[in-house]
Amino acid sequence: MSEGGGADEEAGAAALARTPAVAERRFDGLAARLPPGARWPLALMLLAVAATFLPARASRGVHPRTASPAARVGLVFDVGGRGDKSFNDAAFDGVSRAARELGVEASYLEPSSTEDREAALRLFAARGLDLVIGVGFIFSSDIEEVARGYPDVRFAGVDFAPGPNGIPPNVAALAFREEEGSFLVGAVAGLMSKTKHVGFVGGMSGPLIRKFEAGYVAGVEAACPSCVVHAAYAGTTPDAFRDPAKGKALANAQVAAGSDVIYHASGATGHGVFEAAADAKVLAIGVDADQHDEMPGTVVTSMVKRADTAVFDVVHAALEGTFAGGSRVFGLAEDGVDYVRDGPHAAGIPDDVKRRVEALRADVIAGRVSVPSR
């Protein structure tokens, strides 16, 4: 443990001892508005309160604390938070499954600022948890810094993007070939579009979300070479993942340009995309998880990332003593990405479209088609 670890844990413990019980899972990032010397204690106090009371919410799928848990796991959510019906919920499902099936004790925190993200990770590390998980590429530098300060604590980063110094040996970097899943839904869009114009709405512009766009465009072109793709991003900061009003405005502009199928990779911003699509009576494609229930009759399919499986697997490895640092990448061949193609939530996809997309899937897995990532 780093020299600062004891101070971190003592500050958190002191906050627990003097702070009244609360049952809030979202803390408000006041640290960002305080002088530097005051930010850290307040962030720790708020995080410690949240970490104490949130795990007891069994109704939300996390087991309450037991006398002797198999392991202790901390999950720190990405921007958008729990309840986004997307990437955060998928990671939460993985931890919840580990709580049910493996008997781990799970804690989770939902930060709202840069200081809060690092503070959450540091608090869990200082408490000596068996595994600390950060969800989203935005956490990458924070995980790297905290992991190097706590070499005896295991960390996992979902969508972890290694920095120039590489991946610390105590960090499992979980990555996905989002471009491959996006390729499949791009083919669905190209085959189902009647106007030959389709849209893409991204959240925060950057290398990760560009992978979604690149794969989607390639899929559209493979299925409909004459189709036009209209692409736009909600912004250049993490707030771009939680701006439904901006998502709706961008989707409306794409509808006005003729798009009749719109795919989003924008977190909570995507709900605005769904609203615009529903209003215009065009189709939408969800992301990260099956988002059909967000807008039934409008969401024709979703590109799914198996973050739940990846998170469960890394928790299981930590419990079994087989945890290993380094990179793990999940694509179509590893069943790490897919699209909703079966059951009632895929009922709007014609059978001939499914057959064509399945042929493209086979080509990607066999290496006959290489999907671009930028």
- Span 348-364, mean pLDDT? 98
- Report the percentage of the chain scoring pLDDT > 70: 81
Judged against a pLDDT cut of 70, whether residue 247 lies above it is answered with yes
**pTM, full prediction:** 0.78
Domain 5-46+69-176+307-330 fold: Rossmann fold (3.40.50)
Least confident of 18-27, 141-150, 284-293: 18-27
pLDDT at position 112 is 75
Give the pLDDT mean for 68-81.
85
Q: What is the pLDDT of residue 79?
A: 73
Per-residue pLDDT at 21 exceeds 70: no
Q: How confident is the model at residue 87 (pLDDT cuts 50, 70, 90)?
A: confident
Mean pLDDT of 19-26: 29
Say which range, 105-114, 148-157, 191-200, 339-348, has the weakest mean pLDDT.
105-114
For residue 77, pLDDT over 70 is answered with yes
Residue 47, pLDDT above cutoff 60 = no
Q: Note the helical H segments in the chain.
A: 5-18, 36-53, 87-102, 114-126, 140-149, 178-192, 207-223, 244-256, 270-280, 307-320, 351-366
Q: What is the DSSP letter of 163?
A: B
Taking 3-state DSSP, the helix, strand and coil percentages for the chain, each rounded to the nearest 5, stand at 50, 20, 30
What would the mean pLDDT of 209-214 be, rounded to a whole number?
A: 97
Per-residue pLDDT, 54: 40
pLDDT in tens, 153-167: 999 999 999 999 999
Give the pLDDT band (50/70/90) at residue 369.
Answer: very high
Which is more confidently placed, 67 or 125? 125
Locate CATH 3.40.50.2300 in the chain.
Answer: 5-46+69-176+307-330, 178-304+341-366
Least confident range from 72-81, 184-193, 222-231, 267-276: namely: 72-81
Average pLDDT of the segment spanning 272-294: 96
Residue 205 or residue 19, greater confidence: 205
Q: What is the C-alpha separation between 167 and 160, in angstroms, rounded?
A: 9
How many Cβ atoms sit within 10 Å of the Cβ of residue 266?
Answer: 33
Q: Choose among 248, 337, 334, 327: nearest CA to 288.
A: 337
The C-alpha atoms of residue 251 and residue 234 are separated, in whole angstroms, by: 10
Q: Which region holds residue 268: left if phi is over 0, alpha if psi is between -120 and 50, else beta?
A: alpha
**Model pLDDT, residue 6:** 54
Q: What is the pLDDT of residue 138?
A: 87
Q: Which residues pair with 327 in a beta bridge?
A: 173
- Per-residue pLDDT, 49: 43
Distance between CA atoms of residues 235 and 266, nearest Å: 10
pLDDT of residue 337: 97
Lowest average pLDDT, out of 28-42, 193-207, 239-253, 315-329, goes to 28-42
Quickly state the pLDDT bin for 243 (edges 50, 70, 90): very high
Task: Please determine, for residue 19, whether its predicted confidence score (pLDDT) is greater than 90.
Answer: no
pLDDT for 83 equals 78
DSSP class of 26: B
- Helix extents (H) in 54-113: 87-102
Q: What is the mean pLDDT of the chain?
A: 85
Given phi > 0 = left and psi -120 to 50 = alpha, else beta, which region is 196? left
State the fold for domain 178-304+341-366. Answer: Rossmann fold (3.40.50)
